[in-house]
Structure 1
């Protein structure tokens, strides 16, 4: 089994068109290794161009999802990635999908689709330079590093909450023993003491952590979309650079225009 280099992609600094272009290029990189794929096929959107709509129909037909309900939303199930017609349909429709996976012939996931972009990719070591040239070195994070960060966060959470968990267990055990002859009340008291100590330790840990700088967001609203600046890029409440409120309206078809939304950043951000 050949070794794969696994990466998480961070494309937040790109616009929708650039993310689509990068995602399609990444899928072409893994095409030779792909054996099967699955993807969801949302419908009922007015912003899907004709080529993508035709690609969605190809996927629906291949999956046998042609009912009226399937026109609104369908899951393809596993399709043959070695079928060039189906693979081309996946690449074309990818920016309008929500979720999907691509697996190789050895049962390994080599690409993950999320919200219209490729969020994870695994390629042969020899393909890493090609992938880096497509995505950009600053937008690729090795999956091993992501796992280490998650484990570190999990250990930090366990350390900060272990005393509290132990305290509640001791309190529960003491309460069960209270009606019986024995040291039920002292055990409950010991559990309360552990809870207090755990709370104090947690407070000390939080005080030792540096405060995260808060974004400086002015009052008022964006002149382009009319939404508060707190929804725009630079506020922390945006949706991949798009005004969060515009994105919500777009997803729920509450906008008067087909344009997906405002991308003006917070002044000074």
Structure 2
């Protein structure tokens, strides 16, 4: 699944082509995505895109009439193509621009979403309860510490909770915990403020570096220009079960936490 860096990479890739452009038509070939694409998406027609933003893993195309909310789901990707480009089997939505370009959504598994919203974004059911963005000042060690008091939930699950902080998906939760030296199964409530200071810093650092390098190359993801991301070669523990830890040489181990694959170094991330 595309995580925050991949979604941010997509946003940066498409934004220069969409900003201040008029949408001439929205072509929906398949309405049955994670939620049915509403007929009201047609309200985007003849609207100028004033901003291309991201909230958590949602992309937001803002106009004066409302906001088109896009989620890439498990396998979705966005491309800027010419209107003459042949349509593929899994190309479900086209946002046609007056200048001849097309923003095209490809989603083989159809777990993505395309929605239309005309009220303030803060009251949208998918956005209203989200925590702060991880790369803003609103996310810090103090928030992690306060939100974790009395919690027995594993810290990996805790930092992946969108009510605590948005966008820390499985890959980057593994990486941040490794660099912070925190065992992923340690209870969130057992961690003190000082260790949360290290973890908050590492979450910001890992996500920043991933965005800088273009996201993580996975089977279902490549950037908006068709080129793959490059952060995968920098991963320290994720997907490296049985390989040597880059710090101490100990064998990386894996387990399941909250139904997600979890990778850690038993030496660098002792459960204490």
Larger Rg: 1
**Shorter-chain-normalised TM-score: which range?**
under 0.3
TM-score norm. by structure 1 comes to 0.26
Q: Which has the higher strand share?
A: 2
